[in-house]
Chains A and B, each alone.
Chain A
């Protein structure tokens, strides 16, 4: 595992010198979606809660950055703390009300909250620009240069992975999984399932905000699409495609999804059709994700991988 990680890190570190302009754009987009997918999976993997509202945190951070830059002329990087705070606040509100509901009702309530935010953003022309969005946000310096943005995203991905790793191995991580596997029993030994799940939602949402910030820096604009439910669907696809049970599964899924999209779009306009077919094949034939396709043999030799 350690050597594989080192090789992957080395490849990612030299990648900008091997890619041309378009390749860099694809690579940055893949990193940003990887940050988002890893953050999403922190909640999904450790609590079993399938949020359809993560677009709200992603977009709230993105719009905070876009608004501060366009209206108050803040420098791009300086907006990051407030963008994360905005994502955390949205996550706190949505999580506080939603985690009490189970299964499909949780999914529906998170969807409702995110759609509410989308509807307001989509129509509030005076403040958010409505569906015209906020454009012309050219970040100066490091974030404005493809290589700089690439490394910033790579550092963000590494940081998010490190945070998730620490949380998973901490007592809080074990507590979360205990709540996931048997809430009644966890409550019986004095664990407040509610508090742990809200905390997980807030951390996951805040880290998703980091992805939202990077997304706006990458596309130089913010549109209501950032908040629309299809954005939440995209991150879920990345997570399941890579495999939510594998630590780096979501990041790999994100990379596969973005690269696949770039390749398909260069040949045909029917990317949704291709994605639909890939998803069908995945659900029906390789439900544990692409990572598991390459690991089947290893798994048989060592059935008890680290939890």
Chain B
């Protein structure tokens, strides 16, 4: 294995890590605040990609400005889903929450099949990233670097939002003590709508910006959501930096695992997930529950 080849493989892993991070960070946020494990999260990732494809009609020329519209549409969908469905199961047993989100997965899958067709959708490289870059003499798709940059910017903005704004402080507070926040007069239901919409918006953004790299069809949602689970479980449910670490670990394991033992590269990621759950059930960077129940 030569050095340039090794480096390119690393960058490929980082690009899939970027996509995984955008997918999973919303799942983590939503679990942290609402305590809901969202089995439909992969569907919103796919939906974001579909929105972008429908808006651009598969033509990469309008990629950047339609991207904003696709993300806005995802935010709206997230807010509506929270208002109409999620808040009814917030205080219910977890199997009802799981069934509700699974129902959403099924409904979104078939509705998008009806609206957009069942075939695979893909799109060309967006404007500004049409030409490959040469890394140590080997051509490499420049959009991989662009995707990593987008995910890094999203992570930074999210951090700034959570730690430097009043609403971000409230989001962090609600994950710790919802009742206290309500007692202080904060509109917690509105906050939940905001968090859910934000999480779904991020997933939609992730799906849309991943479209130039991976073609997407309605059936992939069930696979995508499992990848998101692995990332947040490894990193720690509810932790942003944990999600980032989890995404990078999983992205690189998939990239290098495919070189070592191509047949079983997916199995490696499950081994990692099981190992983390056995030794640190709350994830690598998650916080152990204060009171063990």
Contact = CB atoms under 8 A, between A and B. Distances in A.
B95 A50 contact: yes
Q: Is the interface of A mostly helix, strand, loop or mixed?
A: helix
Interface in B168-201: none
B85 A112 contact: no
Contacts of A275: 103, 106
Interface string B223-240: 000100110010001000
B166 interface: no
Contacts of A236: 95, 98-99
Interface in B92-123: 92, 94-96, 98-100, 102-107, 109-111, 113-114
Interface stretch (B10-18, B144-152, B202-210, B267-275): B267-275
Interface residues of B, number: 43
B contacts with A: majority SS: helix
A161 to B, nearest CB: 22
A282 B99 contact: yes
Interface string B70-103: 0000000000000001001100101110111011
Contacts of A113: 270, 274
Interface stretch (A15-23, A114-122, A190-198, A213-221): A114-122
Contacts, number: 116
B125 interface: no
Interface in A102-156: 102-105, 107-109, 111-113, 115-116, 119-120, 122-125
Contact of B263 (A103, A104, A124): A124
Nearest to B225: A229
Contacts of B95: 50, 236, 240
Contacts of B98: 50, 107, 236
Interface in B247-272: 263-264, 266-267, 270-271
A105 B281 contact: yes
Nearest to B261: A123
A108 to B, nearest CB: 5
Contacts of A105: 277, 281-282
B222 interface: yes
Interface string A266-307: 000010110111011011100100000000000000000000
A224 B39 CA distance: 21
A74 interface: no
A248 B17 CA distance: 46
A104 B289 CA distance: 13
Interface of A: 50, 97, 101-105, 107-109, 111-113, 115-116, 119-120, 122-125, 229-230, 233, 236-237, 240, 270, 272-273, 275-277, 279-280, 282-284, 287
A-B interface, 8 closest residue pairs, ranked by CB to CB distance from nearest? A276-B106, A273-B110, A279-B103, A276-B107, A116-B270, A272-B106, A119-B267, A119-B266
24 contacts: A101-B281, A108-B229, A108-B273, A109-B281, A111-B229, A116-B267, A119-B266, A119-B267, A120-B264, A123-B264, A123-B266, A270-B114, A272-B106, A272-B109, A273-B107, A275-B103, A276-B104, A276-B106, A276-B107, A276-B110, A279-B103, A280-B107, A283-B103, A287-B92
